[in-house]
Amino acid sequence: MGESLLKVNDLKKHFPIEGGVLGRTLGHVKAVDGVSFAIEKGETLGLVGESGCGKSTTGRMLLRLIEPSAGRIVFAGKDMTKLAKSELRELRKDIQMIFQDPFASLNPRHTVGRIIEEPMIVHKLGGKKERKKRVRELLEVVGLSSYHAKRYPHQFSGGQRQRIGIARALAVKPKLIVADEPVSALDVSVQSQVLNLLQDLQEQFGLTFLFIAHDLSVVRHFSDRVGVMYLGRIVELGASKELYEDPKHPYTQALLSAVPVPDPNYQNEKIILSGDVPSPSNPPSGCTFHNRCPMAMDHCKTKVPELKELEDGRLTACHLY
């Protein structure tokens, strides 16, 4: 076991719901409601779960793009929630993000060179000449050409724009990359190019990833371990091979069985869940999955299951175990 680069403990984000004439707080959206995990150096932790379960909010809290309501984030041994501004700035350089939408995340008025240089300027890295040289290097690293530096984002395809976003994230030599749905907006034939690139970069630079996606096949491919989220909580976490081959939590079982496998010779038994994902502003009592769970028992309605270790490293939050 290596050392963990990142440790997250009981992280929460409750967004206030404001309303009425006076803008009073009427309630809270429990977007993230007590999430704990650790990521080792050089490892990829995948985060899956359905829309609105809190994946992006979790990722954004690591960069402090969203302030946590509670909990601790320890990065490289330092408690990020307790740092002074200047120290935080230093740490921010070490954590970078790749966004889902390669169209919206690049400033259309800046050249690609400027976009990639920007984080180096912000963090005051190198002189102008060095920065320009690094931009050219980075473009080559992500499979573009140095002459692309003079062009604008709209002159590139979706896959190429995602490469630009990756080059920008790499510019300040980060240790951890939060990749939030990095390939979901891309064409199928371009997805694998970008996934291969991320894999190469990880090997080359020893990068650590938090890899967020709703596509379970993509997450399996890219992650060493996987956490499954439901309504702001992690319900299961484990090594990806074991978790995919033998899911323990009824939600993980249903989720995996619902994925259409691209092989007509294979028909899996689908567990069709009834109903929709409940709203995080008004989650069900007890185990928040109980109202859709095919195995729900009486006490699931009242008692919140804790995330417990089942066997080597497999964590599950379910009363069945």
Nearest-10 crossing angle of helices 112-122, 158-170:
20
Q: Which residue has the tokens 């309501």?
A: 69
CA atoms within 13 A on the CB side of 276: 5
Q: What is the DSSP letter of 9?
A: E
Whether 46 and 216 have beta carbons less than 8 Å apart is answered as no
Residue 308 near residue 234, CB atoms below 8 Å:
no
Nearest to 16 by CA among 5, 27, 7: 27
| 263-282 residues near ligand ATP, rule: CB under 6 A | 280
- Residues of this chain, 45-74, that bind Mg ion according to CB under 5 A: 56
The reply on whether position 191 binds Mg ion by CB under 5 A is: no
Judged by CB under 8 A, which stretch of 7-15, 30-38, 105-113, 194-202 contacts another protein? 194-202
Q: Pairing mode, if any, of strands 225-230 and 44-48?
A: parallel
Min separation Cβ 117 and ligand ATP, Å? 29
**Rounded (10°) angle between helices 128-141 and 158-170:** 130
Should residue 282 be labelled a site residue for another protein when binding is judged by CB under 8 A?
no
* One-letter amino acid of 303: K
Side-chain-facing half-sphere of 319: CA atoms under 13 Å: 17
State yes or no: residue 276 binds another protein (CB under 8 A): yes
In degrees, rounded to 5, the angle at the alpha carbon of residue 217 between the alpha carbons of residues 213 and 223 is: 65
Q: According to the binding rule CB under 6 A, does residue 48 interact with ligand ATP?
A: no
Q: Is 303 in the site for another protein (CB under 8 A)?
A: no
Residue 270 lies near another protein (rule: CB under 8 A)? yes
Which among 56-64, 93-101, 171-179, 209-217 is the span making contact with another protein, rule CB under 8 A? 209-217
Burial of 224 (C-beta count, 10 Å sphere; 0-12/13-18/19+) = middle
Q: Does 214 bind ligand ATP (CB under 6 A)?
A: yes
Question: Pattern 57-96, binding to ligand ATP, x per CB under 6 A?
Answer: x---------------------------------------
Q: Which of residues 7-46 bind ligand ATP (CB under 6 A)?
A: 15, 29, 31
Report how many residues bind Mg ion under the rule CB under 5 A: 1
Residue 256 in the binding site for another protein (CB under 8 A): yes
* Residue in 202, 210, 178 with CA at minimum distance from that of residue 45: 210
Nearer CB in complex with ligand ATP: 15/205: 15
Residue 24, interface with another protein (CB under 8 A)? no
User: What is the distance between the alpha carbons of residues 305 and 296, in angstroms, rounded to a whole number?
Assistant: 12
Choose among another protein, Mg ion, ligand ATP, none what residue 276 binds, the Cβ cut-off being 5 to 8 Å by kind: another protein
Q: How many CA atoms lie within 13 A of 17 on its CB side?
A: 10
Options 127, 189, 269, 312; binder of another protein; rule CB under 8 A:
189
In the complex, least distance from residue 187 CB atom to ligand ATP, rounded to whole angstroms: 8
Give the interface size with another protein as a residue count (CB under 8 A). Answer: 46
Q: CA 65 → CA 78, 84, 133, 246, distances in Å?
A: 18, 16, 29, 35
Q: List interacting residues with ligand ATP (CB under 6 A).
A: 15, 29, 31, 49, 51-57, 214, 280
Q: List interacting residues with another protein (CB under 8 A).
A: 50-51, 157-160, 187-193, 195-196, 199, 214, 216-218, 220-221, 240-241, 244, 254-267, 270, 272-277
